[in-house]
Structure 1
Amino acid sequence: MAGGGRETVGIILAGGRGERAKPITLESADYIRSKALIPFAGRRLIEWVVDACREQGIRRFYVVAQGLENRNQIKLLLGHGERYGVDIQYSRARFDRYNVGSGAATLHNLEYWDLRDQALVLPVDSIFEFSLAEMEATHRRNGALVTVAAVERTAAEVAGKYGAMQTGSNGLVNGFVEKPGLERISRLFPGAADPDLGALIPTNAGMYLVDSNGLRRAARDPELMRLAQQRLDWGGDLLPWLVGHGLMVAVHPIDRLGDLGSVEDYLLTLGEVLGGGYPQMDQLMEVPHNKEPRYWIDETSLNTRDERTGTTLAQKIEDGSVVIGPGVRIGRHVEIGSGVRMEYADIGDGVELREGARLSRTACGDSSVIGPYAEISDCYVGPMAEVESERRRPVRLESFTALGDGVHLWPGTELSRVSVYPRLRIPTVTGLPPGTSITSAEDLGRWL
């Protein structure tokens, strides 16, 4: 129980298609995996969400899924929560057509599940550092219908990128401003625009504590019912409607939000997590194998010998021929050659890192292969991808490049901020413009 005897249940909005995160969300060019199933630091995203909320007292979860594949993928992983010590229910497939936006999906399913308790509504493509008890206290103190988790940002951070919330001295939201420029910020948030004052602006983190009964009553308003049949998102539609109709929407600052909705955001958040920036996730992870520098290595990988020298990873770390910097997580049965250097890297199960490879701020999916002397920074390498590299023709990947599942690169390839869709074989290529997405062999042919 939470909130002084009232139970708080969790509502996980897991039906998004993950377009911005491609190719991470793709298993093939035409088969998308649920965002909930994206691998992240040794688990799937939705597992982190469930575990983190369970640790704060939530024991009942309701998952809003969308479509056959999305629903089946999540259910195959989570079941009904038995492995996680919680109870999980799923939205009905016949209601998928009514899930026209995150707000509409929430309202329809609150009614279907007959929820009357307090509910924490949260997305599946973000991680949060927050105190549920403190958020509940803010919610009660304001008598709010909805309390919005907020990340406070500077004017420079907000300008043109984030929606901002205007609040009164009572902590209630009285207006929303979508991605204001600096000039508008200076008018609406004068304290934030003044560098001497340095006031922060609350931005919507995408997590909401709601009074389920009250929100269900509001949803019966004919105008809101019509909106919920067309298009109703939480941030852009539902919250402004509630505030505009005089309903109590409060704001509660949280410590941190990690967005995972794009390749760049995914990698930046991964680096922050591995670097210790999310204490609550630290508590859910295993105790680090080494504390200074901090890294995690599964015992099976420490004892795995590389085929070239026949020495174990433990031996190579001890003699200095492999250097593991801070923020590294190495999964099971990973084979690592001599001369490898890495920092802030997430290495999946069964990965092979050949001699001389350099990795920083990078994720390598299960069973991927990184060839000799490859230089990889700020990149995502999908499961079963193979990066062929040679000492005289090393592969160089940088600046939020992403390789989909099973991609094959030839030696000498250099990519910067390029996305390659799954299962493509890329001959030696350099000079592709940053921002290029190679989605098919035809796409590649235009650059060769």
Structure 2
Amino acid sequence: MSTDRNGETVGILLAGGRGERAKPITLKSPDHIRSKALIPFAGRRLVEWVVDACREQGIRRFYVVTHGLENRTQIKLLLGHGERYGVDVTYSRSRFDRYNVGSAGATLHNLEQWDLQGRALVLPVDSLFDFDLESMEAAHAERGALVTVAAVRRTADEIAGKYGVMRTDDDGLVQGFVEKPDRTRLGELFPRTTVDADVTLPTNAGMYLVDCARLRLLAREPELFRQSYQRLDWGQDLLPWLAARGLPVAAHSIGRLGDLGNVPDYLHTLGLVLDGAYEQMNRLMRRPDVASPRCWIHESSLRTKDDVTGTTLAQKIDEGSVVVGPGVRIGREVEIGPGVRLDHADIGDGAEVREGATVVRSAVGESAVVGAYAEIEDSYIGPMAEVCSERTRPARLERFSAIGDGAMLWPGSRFCGVSVYPRLRVPAMTGVPAETELKSADDILNWV
């Protein structure tokens, strides 16, 4: 089912990154990084959503660029060769790991190894895309593009200092790239943005539809060949190189891009998904409950009794002692105590949310425990983490705090924008500055 035989687009998943920005979400332990592809998201691993979204649009053959033993093993244990997902999956060879320097370099080396000739959709595994492949393919063919860049249109205020901007002509072909300009620079390059705040500009979403055969020929040019063995990134290096030489690079707008590379972006994207802003996720996720729009509660959790009142979640919802929604997903066999309020929250399989707790705009991982009367807002709690809390000493997490896998917080903790690495035992602490990372017992001692 490759493009060589039937003209279909294949998928190339760039999964070799270390996920440094997303710590502690990507950490299984303080010294063991989980592949970005395996970030838990809305009840599954992120790469599973990516594969399903592409398969839904006709992609049946995937090529995965991995890097190193742990990264390769983790992804292969999950995806296998695609049997569970109704697709074929092939992995990059380990001997190419040393050449997988940069996203574009990894792509070029593996295009040659896999002998791909037709179209390929190249995309990372730490983002969530809402896109229409058929319309992207049509635009790619109409413009005779070597590469078509998936673009998300954003206002100048959204762009400033965070996103790269593409300068395009009337035909949608890219004339140049501006890497993360500040607000002043944007006003100089795009004067309309200074007088109309609603003007949007195309930004690079990090997903590319490529003509493999033509790109492979270009990769043999001495300058590009040399750079591909040093450091070659798609956005910073390859695309500007192509545009500067007048090669046809097109921009095509897609619906949405959700970056999951850090805790704030992860939670923002999760909230949009739970609100129904991603059309593809709406189709891929199980239909929400009819009685509670935009809520997904597994039937096993509705039947689960708490250890305080002995009543089921269904009973507590009916009597009003538990408030759920909108925008809430509750996985399998979750125990919810009386007096709990959940709003725009994702609760993983086997988790426990004790009596009186509040979880708002947050994610609670599989088998994690949120203690009694805890207040969790805009925060991430990893699998098997425990936030101990009591009525007289409630714990409070807010403003993008993140608790790593298996960590434990004692009652009375107050964290605002603090990250706790996996498996740490943290005494009750307050006043820790935002953006502090508690990585070890020594870090904890510095603040006790």
**1:43 maps to 2:44:** yes
Q: Write the letter of the residue equivalent to 1:37.
A: L
Per-residue Cα deviation, 1:35-64 (whole angstroms, up to 9, x for no partner): 101110011000000000000000000000
Change (3 A) 1:290 1:409: farther
Q: Could you say which residue in structure 1 is the equivalent of 2:250?
A: 250
3-state DSSP class of the match of 2:383?
coil
Post-superposition shift, 1:401? 0.2
Q: Is the 8 A contact 2:23 2:262 kept in 1?
A: yes
Q: Could you say which residue in structure 1 is the equivalent of 2:165?
A: 164
3-state DSSP class of the match of 1:329?
strand
Per-residue Cα deviation, 1:201-221 (whole angstroms, up to 9, x for no partner): 110000000000010011010
Post-superposition shift, 1:132? 0.4
**1:443 maps to 2:443:** yes
Q: Write the letter of the residue equivalent to 1:405.
A: D
Distance in 1 between the 2:273 and 2:153 partners? 19
Distance in 1 between the 2:363 and 2:342 partners? 11
Distance in 2 between the 1:278 and 1:269 partners? 9
Post-superposition shift, 1:178? 1.0
In the alignment, structure 2 segments of 5+ residues that lack a partner are: none
Q: Is the 8 A contact 2:19 2:26 kept in 1?
A: yes
**1:139-150 → structure 2 map (5 Å cutoff):** 139-150=140-151
Q: Is the 8 A contact 1:46 1:124 kept in 2?
A: yes
Post-superposition shift, 1:147? 0.3
Q: Is the 8 A contact 1:290 1:296 kept in 2?
A: no
Post-superposition shift, 1:117? 1.4
Q: Name the Cα RMSD after superposition.
A: 1.2
Distance in 2 between the 1:349 and 1:158 partners? 37
**1:321-360 → structure 2 map (5 Å cutoff):** 321-360=321-360
Per-residue Cα deviation, 1:376-417 (whole angstroms, up to 9, x for no partner): 000100111111100011000000000001111111110000
Per-residue Cα deviation, 1:153-205 (whole angstroms, up to 9, x for no partner): 11111112211111111211011111112222122112233217x43111000
Distance in 1 between the 2:329 and 2:447 partners? 36
Change (3 A) 1:424 1:272: same
**1:31-180 → structure 2 map (5 Å cutoff):** 31-180=32-181
Q: Write the letter of the residue equivalent to 2:357.
A: A
Q: Is the 8 A contact 1:409 1:428 kept in 2?
A: yes
**1:299-338 → structure 2 map (5 Å cutoff):** 299-338=299-338
Q: Could you say which residue in structure 2 is the equivalent of 1:378?
A: 378
Q: Is the 8 A contact 2:376 2:398 kept in 1?
A: yes
Q: Is the 8 A contact 2:337 2:356 kept in 1?
A: yes
Per-residue Cα deviation, 1:80-125 (whole angstroms, up to 9, x for no partner): 0011010000000110000000000000000000001100000000
Q: Could you say which residue in structure 1 is the equivalent of 2:16?
A: 15
Distance in 2 between the 1:260 and 1:296 partners? 22
Q: Is the 8 A contact 2:2 2:10 kept in 1?
A: no
Q: Is the 8 A contact 2:407 2:425 kept in 1?
A: yes
Distance in 1 between the 2:63 and 2:422 partners? 32
Distance in 2 between the 1:52 and 1:178 partners? 29
| TM-score (structure 1 length as normaliser) | 0.98
3-state DSSP class of the match of 2:379?
strand
Q: Is the 8 A contact 2:2 2:61 kept in 1?
A: no
Distance in 2 between the 1:2 and 1:28 partners? 39
Q: Write the letter of the residue equivalent to 1:156.
A: D
Q: Could you say which residue in structure 2 is the equivalent of 1:192?
A: 193
Q: Could you say which residue in structure 2 is the equivalent of 1:230?
A: 230
3-state DSSP class of the match of 1:446?
helix
Identity of aligned residues (%): 68
3-state DSSP class of the match of 1:48?
helix
Distance in 2 between the 1:135 and 1:271 partners? 27
| TM-score (structure 2 length as normaliser) | 0.98
Distance in 1 between the 2:56 and 2:213 partners? 25
3-state DSSP class of the match of 1:147?
strand
Per-residue Cα deviation, 1:205-254 (whole angstroms, up to 9, x for no partner): 00000000010011010000010010000000010111112211000011
